[in-house]
Amino acid sequence: MREYTVAILGATGAVGSRLIEQLEQSTIPVKKVKLLASKRSAGKQLNFKGQAITIEEATPEVFESVDLVLASAGGAVSKRLLPEAVKRGAVCVDNTSAFRMEPEVPLVVPEVNEQALFEHRGIVANPNCSTIQMMVALEPIRQKFGLEQIIVSTYQAASGAGQTALDEMLSEAKDYLNGEKMEGKIFPVKGDKKHYPLAFNLLPQIDVFEDDGYSHEEWKMIHETKKIMQGDMNDPKLKVTATCVRVPVVIGHGESVYFKTTDTTLTVEKLKETLQTAPGVVLQDDPAHQEYPQPLTAEGKRETFVGRIRADKENPGSFNMWIVSDNLLKGAAWNTVQIAERLVENDLVHVPTEPYLG
């Protein structure tokens, strides 16, 4: 049996720590783990399966003899280093937005489009956290009943912006409760011109804005959905629009999704039946017993929780639905490791003769 040398790029971040944990629990036969980070963290140690591993600085050379790279150190780092890793024979699963829209790079949610992995040319992209959980919930519906339109409003947790951002939100909350003034320095977007407190507030900005008023996060959801479900980020057959809002939650993105199927006779019961057996989905829809998805109960779980399914009685075939998943697991680390597991299972951990080098 082949064993793999796996490198985790960005091992010290909020997603990085979960990548380590998810890899520990995965089915991948791991020969060796390399933990990579910036120069600043090099030399420190982190545990993998109880063994202390010294963090190495991420340089092109460090990928020699690596089979698989799990990357989550930001788009700029991926753009610079993943082609170097591919050149050296490593297959990369990238959790940043660096290559998601490249036609040569499969964008994969294993429950939805695992087959796209067979086309990889060295890099596979992990979709955006808010896209992934929506895909897991909607794909079984699309397959059975057809999908014409998706209108989504997100309620995205602070941890989606990273550990420092999350810490800031919690420290703002402390200030507020102590009667002190809150002062945002990171949210809504690190590096943007203005900053606002997130604690006890709502920020309708995730990532920077395009000229048309949509945020990058909103366009990511639109284009990624089209690419994952239809293979083309611009395919107009399935219409998608999104509003992305940051909320003062620690872990777990919520999504209020309105969707129009092509089956005007479709009932809530048939939808529930379908979701009950859908891969990666936990149907949590029992209003009579107040059972519905919540961030606090989804935290730490790999599944996507779906509930509050309701028919739009004035528009047969259209429905409302509420989705929650752990944005650091299915939205990031678990989906990345799950892709790696599928690459291993399908013997796809080989860089092809014509690799994609960015």
Q: Say whether 246 counts as a known binding-site residue.
A: yes
**Selected binder of a copy of itself within 2, 39, 181, 194 (CB under 8 A):** 194
Whether residue 129 lies in the annotated active site = yes
**Residue 295 lies near a copy of itself (rule: CB under 8 A):** yes
Integer Cα distance of 159 and 262 in angstroms: 36
CB-CB neighbours of 190 under 10 Å = 13
Residue 104 interacts with a copy of itself (CB under 8 A): yes or no: no
Q: Give the end-to-end CA distance of the chain in Å, rounded to a whole number.
A: 31
**Three-state secondary structure along 273-325?**
HHHHCCCCEEECCEHHHCECCCHHHHCCCCCEEEEEEEECCCCCCEEEEEEEE
DSSP-derived secondary structure for 108-175: --HHHHGGGGGG-SSEEEPPPHHHHHHHHHHHHHHHHH-EEEEEEEEEE-GGGG-HHHHHHHHHHHHH
Task: Report 315-354 residues binding a copy of itself (CB under 8 A).
Answer: 315, 320, 322, 324
CB nearer to a copy of itself: pick between 5 and 243: 243
Question: Taking CB under 8 A as the rule, does residue 173 contact a copy of itself?
Answer: yes
Ligand-binding annotation for 40, yes or no, is yes
By CB under 8 A, name the one of 116, 203, 337, 339 that touches a copy of itself: 203
- Whole-number minimum distance, CB 286 to a copy of itself, in Å? 10
**Is residue 163 a contact residue for a copy of itself (CB under 8 A)?**
no
Interface residue with a copy of itself among 174, 185, 190, 350 (CB under 8 A) is: 174
CB contact at 8 A, 118 and 149: no
Q: Residue 60: how many CB atoms within 10 A of its CB?
A: 13
Question: Contact between 204 and a copy of itself (CB under 8 A)?
Answer: yes
Annotated catalytic residue: which of 92, 129, 223, 244?
A: 129
Task: Output the CA torsion 279→137→231→149 (10° steps).
Answer: 150
Give the closest residue to 93 by CA, choosing from 60, 126, 61, 66.
126
Size of interface with a copy of itself, in residues (CB under 8 A)? 64
Which of 47, 65, 262, 296 is the binder for a copy of itself (CB under 8 A)? 296
Q: How far is residue 252's CA from residue 156's CA, in Å, rounded to a whole number?
A: 7
- Binding-site residues sit at 12-15, 40-41, 100, 156, 159-160, 246, 327
Catalytic (active-site) positions: 129, 253
Residues that bind a copy of itself (CB under 8 A): 149, 151, 153, 155, 170, 173-174, 177, 182, 188, 192-194, 196-197, 200-205, 209, 212-215, 218, 236, 239-241, 243, 245, 247-250, 252, 254, 256, 258, 268, 285, 287-290, 292-296, 307-315, 320, 322, 324
- Binding-site residues for phosphate sit at 100
